[in-house]
Amino acid sequence: MFKGKSILVTGGTGSFGRHFCAKVLKMAPSRVIVYSRDEFKQHEMQEMPTFYNNKRMRYFLGDIRDADRLKRAMQGVDIVVHAAALKQVPAAEYNPNEFIKTNVNGATNIVDAALHANVPRVIALSTDKAVNPVNLYGATKLCSDKVFIAGNSYRGNQSPTLFSVVRYGNVIGSRGSVIPLFIKQRDQKHLTITNPDMTRFYITLEEGVLFVMKCLQKMVGGELFIPKLPSCTLGDMAHAVAPNSKQKIVGLRPGEKMHETLIPSDEAHLTIEYKDYYVIQPTLRFWTKSALPKGGKKCPSNFAYTSDNNPDRLTIADIKKHIQHFENYLPHNGTWQNDSPSIIKKSARKKALS
């Protein structure tokens, strides 16, 4: 579906954006537009061998807070992947207005610009922190999710524009991941850790990109897609990175949870389970159950998908494989040297389905 298409990626210079651009370039799009506000990161990206002198790449300086610039950037675009956001949990607690301007108002601008330009498909990246949020970052992403899903109601019968959302957990090796911090602290033989019993969902950058691509093909507008992911404790993550280092427990940061949720029990009645992912259906009028692909089954009314009760758990050996892959990453190349090994175990998927 990407061949000959014009694709715009907001936040295209980030970890996800660069990997997505590198992957989609192999599928013969007409152009790939990186939309971001940092000129230096765009310059760095242009100099990377993966993207250097590639005539299909375009670089638009702009902020998603700027509605007019977004409308200009989306002219003639077929697919929008919205990855731009402010994401640091403690920073959100201290700078709430800035997070609202980017994550909520920016989401509204993207919906309006896509409708104005008749972009056929728009998919937004979300986070487990948007579920029952206790921090401002999560609250702004929950608002963003609602804005994109409701965008399907705004489009009317004549507009071709469809909006959907992808929600997943922590990305191993991304800039916001704890792994780079632990690797840096490993040489000092001293790790700072919030709580060793804390659990998180994990996904690799490769799997995150491939899942978004899959959802772009399946989407009919209105779905919230959630992949089935493994979990692990922060203690196991720290032990895998630096088994010989001492751990200093520093406690939860402002706005942090001990465990994360991808699907709350309140939305179990709207959730459909498939082989390797879930779909949360919207409650808005435009949605019809016939829009769902076949092969799914309704989740039980008491179902919840949480990192502490997840049957799919990463072992320390599993984590070590991904740490080694992360350390082999070539920053100047802009993408992984080889596709990262899968973190999602088929055996665990079967267990989760049974």
Question: Domain total for the chain?
Answer: 1
pLDDT digits (tens, 9 = 90+) for 132-188: 999 999 999 999 999 999 999 988 777 899 999 999 999 886 766 788 888 888 888
**Per-residue pLDDT at 350 exceeds 70:** no
The domain spanning residue 264 has which CATH number? 3.40.50.720
pLDDT category of residue 327 using cuts at 50, 70 and 90:
low
Q: Is 275 a catalytic residue?
A: no
Asked whether 7 and 81 are in contact (CB, 8 A), the reply is yes
What is the pLDDT averaged over residues 69-91?
96
Tell me, yes or no, whether 290 lies in a domain: yes
Asked whether 202 and 343 are in contact (CB, 8 A), the reply is yes
pLDDT at 173: 65
What's the domain range around 83?
6-353
State the Cα–Cα distance between residues 262 and 143, nearest whole angstrom.
Answer: 16
Tell me, yes or no, whether 235 lies in a domain: yes
Tell me, yes or no, whether 1 lies in a domain: no
The burial of 273, by beta-carbon neighbours within 10 Å (0-12 exposed, 13-18 middle, 19 or more buried), is given as buried
Contacts of 47 (CB under 8 A, 6+ apart): none
pLDDT at 272: 96
Residue 233: strand pairing partners: 199
pLDDT category of residue 345 using cuts at 50, 70 and 90:
low
- Selecting among 5, 23, 41, 129, the annotated active-site residue is 129
Contacts of 186 (CB under 8 A, 6+ apart): 241, 242, 245
pLDDT category of residue 294 using cuts at 50, 70 and 90:
confident
**Per-residue pLDDT at 91 exceeds 70:** yes
State the Cα–Cα distance between residues 281 and 13, nearest whole angstrom.
Answer: 31
pLDDT digits (tens, 9 = 90+) for 188-228: 888 899 999 999 999 988 999 999 999 999 999 999 999 99
